[in-house]
Copies of this chain bind each other. A is one copy, B any other.
């Protein structure tokens, strides 16, 4: 995304995205342009490997900085976490349990502001700052992938909740007698719309993949017109639309940006989501709410992490430092 010959300002932001399968980092300028993006896969290492993972991250950051000193550091990280303290326990990274990521980064970049949020909140901030939800009053960002995450930006500020966990659209109930969710609840959006659940539902309905049974194969089948595959994405989309209608009524949203791997399905997913939303979101004040694909793709989390520190205190809640 760096135009040829572009000058990277000295006051760039070091942006970090800690996901379940990779560590990513980039140098992001004050305009939100992503430079020098690098990433490394994370190993499914067990408890005790926390320092090793930290060393891997430090190596990645040094490579991105290439001798430059960042003006500030922004981080999106998989939850759960203790926020704003920034003790992180990413579900898919057992190596880190209550790992003091924020304070470690503060030690490594002394005198620099370091801010850290849930990765889905970072995605929402990125889409608000430079993506599909610029200037939205009420933005919900949703990531539909192995799980279903979400983040909220209302009136230009993140809604983090007292421990940083607000935005969990994946655990909005869309069908109280629906399938069991990994959280222990019933009928959560995530139980229906997460990628593995969509694939499993298709298999249960008789889908016979020729190769490996995954989201990508299911999407191929749906594009080829396989009814069960189309229905599987539609069912997930409808659940998404119901949850979005609930959130829109509660928060008077105007933009919902949907990203994550499953959105490769495009209108196979978002079409049914929009139909279900139209069926359930009937109050005047939500009718114009738009459900759109996220615009920044894999960069949204990095751009949002940078925005937490690059945009002054625009997104950051007062008193959370």
Contacts and interface: CB of A to CB of B under 8 A. Distances in A.
A166 B280 contact: no
Given A279-B185, A280-B185, A285 B165 contact: yes
B183 A252 contact: no
Contacts of A161: 137-138, 154, 251-252, 285
B282 A176 contact: no
Given A155-B317, A285-B163, A174 B173 contact: yes
B279 A166 contact: no
A252 B161 CA distance: 5
13 contacts: A154-B159, A154-B161, A161-B285, A162-B252, A165-B252, A165-B285, A166-B251, A168-B250, A168-B252, A171-B283, A173-B246, A176-B238, A246-B246
A138 B160 CA distance: 10
Interface of A: 80, 137-138, 150, 152, 154-155, 159-163, 165-176, 181, 183-188, 238, 242-243, 245-247, 249-252, 254, 276, 279-285, 317
Contacts of A181: 282
B172 A246 contact: yes
A87 B315 CA distance: 30
Contact of A252 (B163, B169, B238, B283): B163
Nearest to A247: B250
A184 B284 contact: no
A155 B163 CA distance: 12
Contacts of A184: 282
Nearest to A160: B252
A8 to B, nearest CB: 34
A170 B152 CA distance: 20
Contacts of A186: 279-280
A188 B250 CA distance: 12
A42 to B, nearest CB: 23
A232 B186 CA distance: 22
A172 B283 CA distance: 11
Contact of A245 (B154, B173, B242): B173
Nearest to A252: B161
Nearest to A285: B165
Nearest to A161: B252
Contacts of A155: 317
Contacts of A169: 249-250
A232 to B, nearest CB: 17
A280 B173 contact: yes
Contacts of A245: 171, 173, 185
Contacts of A247: 250
A188 B44 CA distance: 42
